[in-house]
């Protein structure tokens, strides 16, 4: 990848877009890029080799499993979001896994050691990083509240609404979503069974609110889904 393309990718990330030129040049020296294919796992590393990642293009799911093979999807990340060893202390969570959800996903990454050095010399970058981490924590708090106060159908509708806001394309009187998630993925995110997701999606389809297949989801009433 050319230096110009690396610079373009970095500048396109909201955490870096307002940084002065000399900091961007420092980042170019330590941030690397790679293409990750759908279903491919991404290693966080540990100790001095632990990494922080930046989603440049595509979608990443962050999961945690238990001893019985059950998978909880902790987050679904889009362009500009961060993952990896966000504590920057060399102790990435052992039980957490990252996996590409989309084909030809592009991520940038560097060691937490290198990232901390640049953070220490640039307060604006430190502020941007803190804001990104705070936003992730707020999303997790909202999901916890959903699990406590909402039933599975309400959680599914809220999930689709949020998905539409971040990924939806308005075409006429419909909102179109590229469907890169399986029913198991959705079930893992809203903490219910795959069978329940199938039943609930069929209910929403039969009521005329949406249509779905393996490639796309059409939301038929933008006022309801906004």
What would the pLDDT profile of 24-75 be if each residue is shown by its tens digit?
A: 999 999 999 999 999 999 999 887 789 999 999 999 999 987 777 777 888 9
The encoded tokens of residue 135 equal 């936003």
Instruction: Please name each of the domains of the chain with its CATH number.
Output: 3-140 (2.60.120.10), 150-225 (1.10.10.10)
pLDDT for res 60: 95
Question: Is 3 a residue whose pLDDT tops 90?
Answer: no
User: Each residue of 162-211: pLDDT tens digit?
Assistant: 999 888 888 888 899 999 999 999 998 998 999 999 999 999 999 999 99
pLDDT number for residue 183? 92
DSSP collapsed to 3 states, the chain: CCHHHHHHHHHCCCCCCCCCHHHHHHHHHHCEEEEECCCCEECCCCHHHCEEEEEEECCEEEEEECCCCCEEEEEEECCCCEEECCCCCCCCCCCEEEEECCCCEEEEEEEHHHHHHHHHCCHHHHHHHHHHHHHHHHHHHHHHHHHHHCCHHHHHHHHHHHHHHHHCEEECCEEEEECCCCHHHHHHHHCCCHHHHHHHHHHHHHCCCEEECCCEEEECCHHHHC
């Amino acid at each position: 990848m050319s230096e110009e393309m690396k610079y373009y990718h970095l500048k396109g990330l909201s955490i870096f877009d307002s940084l002065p030129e000399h900091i961007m040049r420092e980042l170019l020296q330590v941030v690397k890029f790679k293409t990750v294919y759908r279903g491919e796992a991404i290693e966080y590393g540990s100790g001095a080799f632990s990494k922080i990642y930046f989603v440049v293009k595509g979608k990443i799911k962050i999961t945690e499993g238990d001893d019985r093979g059950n998978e909880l999807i902790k987050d679904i990340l889009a362009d500009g979001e961060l993952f990896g060893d966000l504590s920057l202390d060399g102790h990435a969570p052992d039980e957490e896994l990252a996996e590409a959800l989309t084909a030809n996903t592009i991520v940038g990454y560097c060691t937490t050691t290198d990232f901390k050095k640049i953070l220490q010399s640039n307060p604006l970058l430190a502020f941007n990083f803190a804001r990104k981490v705070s936003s992730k924590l707020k999303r997790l708090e909202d999901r916890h509240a959903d699990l406590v106060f909402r039933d599975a159908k309400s959680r599914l509708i809220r999930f689709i609404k949020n998905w539409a806001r971040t990924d939806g394309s308005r075409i006429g009187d419909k909102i179109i979503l590229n469907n890169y998630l399986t029913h198991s993925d959705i079930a893992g995110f809203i903490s219910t069974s795959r069978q329940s997701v199938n039943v609930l999606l069929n209910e929403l389809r039969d009521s005329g609110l949406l249509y779905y297949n393996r490639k796309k989801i059409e939301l038929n009433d933008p006022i309801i889904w906004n």
